[in-house]
Amino acid sequence: ETGVTQSPTHLIKTRGQQVTLRCSSQSGHNTVSWYQQALGQGPQFIFQYYREEENGRGNFPPRFSGLQFPNYSSELNVNALELDDSALYLCASSLRSFATNEKLFFGSGTQLSVL
Amino acid sequence: AQSVTQPDIHITVSEGASLELRCNYSYGATPYLFWYVQSPGQGLQLLLKYFSGDTLVQGIKGFEAEFKRSQSSFNLRKPSVHWSDAAEYFCAVGFTSGTYKYIFGTGTRLKVLA
């Protein structure tokens, strides 16, 4: 049990809709990262939030956006959903953003299906 | 560019047999290496990590991994596999490029025969 919780666990949307996924980080962790895991693939880095600011982004279009709140919980928003957005979305929290040997603690993920 | 390769997509072993899962990485500096395990529909659980020092690292559930710089490898091993080890295993490199992030391999799915 990592202490990172994500909601909802499953979600079904149709193409063109918008979705919001939520993550509560482990107590004391001020950094949240989001990863997308497509079927049969390893997770891919979407972006990271540190103290409510976006702190880095992977190769994802602007329709993927996020927020981090003062309590360090976070949201991932995806606009104009496409079929290829169907994936498991993982949230990971960590104690520090800039340490190069930091461990990430992952939640169980939100399984998004786009029809 | 940084990358992680897990050459074996699927591996099947009998319960009680030994296991080795391969991982090769490409990274220009000292790597920070991780192995995670994922059960169906679940998140990722950290098995072990290598940051520096002893190149043979011990993890949870009886797993170990050996870092070999000359081969750019970080293979995961277990002397005797249990049926509950059936899952997907991911190797990852942690690095900083503006932001600290992981690059994951594509995973190896382990099947255990009774």
Give the minimum alpha-carbon distance from B14 to chain A in angstroms, rounded to a whole number. Answer: 23
- Mean pLDDT, chain B, rounded, equals 91
Which of A49, A105, A46, A56 lies closest to A78, judged by CA?
A46
Which of A90, A86, A87, A82 lies closest to A32, judged by CA?
A90
Q: Determine whether the interchain pair B96/A101 forms a contact, defined as Cβ–Cβ distance below 8 Å.
A: no
**Mean pLDDT for the stretch of residues B11-18:** 97
Q: Determine whether the interchain pair B96/A100 forms a contact, defined as Cβ–Cβ distance below 8 Å.
A: yes
- Using pLDDT thresholds of 50, 70 and 90, give the confidence band for residue A2: low
Q: Measured between CB atoms, does A111 come within 8 Å of chain B?
A: yes
Which of B6, B38, B46, B25 lies closest to B93, judged by CA?
B25
- Mean pLDDT, chain A, rounded, equals 90
Q: Determine whether the interchain pair A42/B95 forms a contact, defined as Cβ–Cβ distance below 8 Å.
A: no
Residues sharing a CB contact under 8 Å with residue B27, sequence separation 6 or more, in sequence order: B2, B72, B93, B95
Q: Which residues of A touch B45 (CB under 8 A)?
A: 2, 106
User: Which pLDDT score, from 0 to 100, does residue B42 have?
Assistant: 78
**Which of A52-56, A87-91, B82-86 comes out lowest in average pLDDT?**
A52-56
User: Which pLDDT score, from 0 to 100, does residue B7 have?
Assistant: 96
**Is A88 a residue whose pLDDT tops 70?**
yes
